[in-house]
Structure 1
Amino acid sequence: MAKTQVNPTRMELTRQKKKLSTANRGYKLLKDKRDELMRQFLILVKENMELRNQVEAGIKRANTNFVIAGSAMSKEALHTALMSPKQEISLAADRKNIMSVDVPVFHYETRRADSNDIYSYGYAFTSGDLDDAVKSLADVFPKMINLAEKEKTCQLIAAEIEKTRRRVNALEHIIIPGTLENIRYISMKLDENERSSQVRLLKVKDMMLEDTHHYREKQSAERGK
């Protein structure tokens, strides 16, 4: 393959050596990047699993309380109590960079300064289980936002790891070996050309010496006459 792709010249040999040096540096940098991304990915996955378990437990607890509240209150009273929420949430998305990967960062603000000010109904005609259900949802909401942030971060980093892995493999198994083969081929051809040139020079030298010898013999013969 190398024989049909490169010209065996010293200029091409210099270019291939520079290409090999660049490929080796790129391989090391990409390999370090891949390893660091893997390290951070494993940390994030562990945090994500713990957070997911907390969120699922919080939602399960809230659903249980809603079911209990629904059994203690009429359907109409329950809907009326939850019809006009007292608190509102505004969500903003930002970005941060992790090893050249832009990952999301979510920020939220509540309409009221007191985040515990969440009950939009009076306590006289509602069940205490409804209070527990609303409080459970309010408590799990920040974790849900954090979970969404971490899951998206894991997805983006996993995609970057796969992309970096393909580049590392391409450098390791295709570009670097191909460049080394090109360098070996060019070096071999240049050595062959140099040996051929030396043989030709030696032959020319022998011919010149032979011509000089014949010329001197001719001159000596002419002087003898």
Structure 2
Amino acid sequence: MPYITETRYTRSELLAMRKRLQIAEKAHRLLQMKHDGLIHEFSSFAPQVKKELDFLIIRHTRARTLMIAGFMVEGSDALTLSANSVESLIHIDLHTRKIFGVITPVIEGIDIKSDLVFRGYSLYNTSLITDDIVDTYEDLVEAIITYSAHESTLKRLLVEIERIGRRVKALENIVIPQISHAITVMSRARDELEREEHARLSHVKKGRQRNDAH
């Protein structure tokens, strides 16, 4: 027990140990509150991210299906030419926010949706399926951006939950019990010393009284 071997059983050491216990218990309470808050935030956020993943899969499947149909209708060369003609104006805005002190990413796509007349490919030489493919892939990009930001947030929350959980368990199962045990041992030792000191003083006093009587 390191908390015992490092002490000298003095009153100041005992007071310091009790102060250490108060600090450890306060830290445990605060960390437990943060841990519970993060779990609540994670539990509330996870279903939304699951829906976003399902939606992303649906959009990805639709995009692939339309792409296959586009190859059949337009042909590989024509569709590739149209794709290379599209000018992407998408911008990604990256910043962060804090959730219970945890820094999480915020990713926003700007100008994901493009106007039909500004896409770059010829509207006269392509069929409507080309427009549908572009619309679908823009929807897919939007879904990817939304999901990636929220999935990253969930991962960071989970890492913090596990990290704080380990600290809470260490305080609860190791640190606080060790300090409490050390305080008990020190208190008993000081009580024993006080009894011995009291007995010694009583013995000295009686000896002096006997000497005075003679």
SS at structure 2 position matched to 1:86: coil
State the partner residue of 1:61: 62
State the partner residue of 1:221: none
Question: d(CA) in 2 for partners of 1:135 and 1:54?
Answer: 15
| Shift of residue 5, structure 1, vs aligned partner | 2.7
State the partner residue of 1:195: 195
Question: d(CA) in 2 for partners of 1:90 and 1:4?
Answer: 62
Percentage of pairs with the same residue? 28
With the length of structure 2 as denominator, give the TM-score of the two structures.
Answer: 0.93
Question: d(CA) in 1 for partners of 2:130 and 2:68?
Answer: 9
Relative to structure 1, the CA distance from residue 19 to residue 3 in structure 2 (aligned partners, 3 Å threshold; closer, same or farther) is closer
SS at structure 1 position matched to 2:84: coil
Matched to 1:72, the amino acid is: V
| Shift of residue 6, structure 1, vs aligned partner | 1.6
| Shift of residue 131, structure 1, vs aligned partner | 1.8
Note the residue ranges of structure 1 that are not aligned, 5 or more in a row.
215-225
| Shift of residue 168, structure 1, vs aligned partner | 0.3
Question: d(CA) in 1 for partners of 2:34 and 2:18?
Answer: 24
| Shift of residue 84, structure 1, vs aligned partner | 1.7
State the partner residue of 1:46: 47
Partners of 2:42 and 2:158 within 8 A in 1: yes
State the partner residue of 2:121: 121
| Shift of residue 126, structure 1, vs aligned partner | 2.2
With the length of structure 1 as denominator, give the TM-score of the two structures.
Answer: 0.89
Partners of 2:17 and 2:179 within 8 A in 1: yes
Note the residue ranges of structure 2 that are not aligned, 5 or more in a row.
none
State the partner residue of 1:160: 160
| Shift of residue 87, structure 1, vs aligned partner | 3.2
State the partner residue of 2:87: 86
State the partner residue of 1:176: 176
SS at structure 1 position matched to 2:95: strand
SS at structure 2 position matched to 1:107: strand
Query: Runs (4+) of structure 1 moved beyond 6 Å?
Result: none
| Shift of residue 141, structure 1, vs aligned partner | 2.1
Question: d(CA) in 2 for partners of 1:93 and 1:4?
Answer: 52
Name the Cα RMSD after superposition: 1.6
SS at structure 2 position matched to 1:82: helix
Partners of 1:95 and 1:105 within 8 A in 2: yes
Cα deviations by residue, 1:153-181 (Å, 9 ceiling, x for unpaired)? 11111111111011101110111011101
The structure with the largest alpha-carbon Rg is 1
Partners of 2:63 and 2:140 within 8 A in 1: no
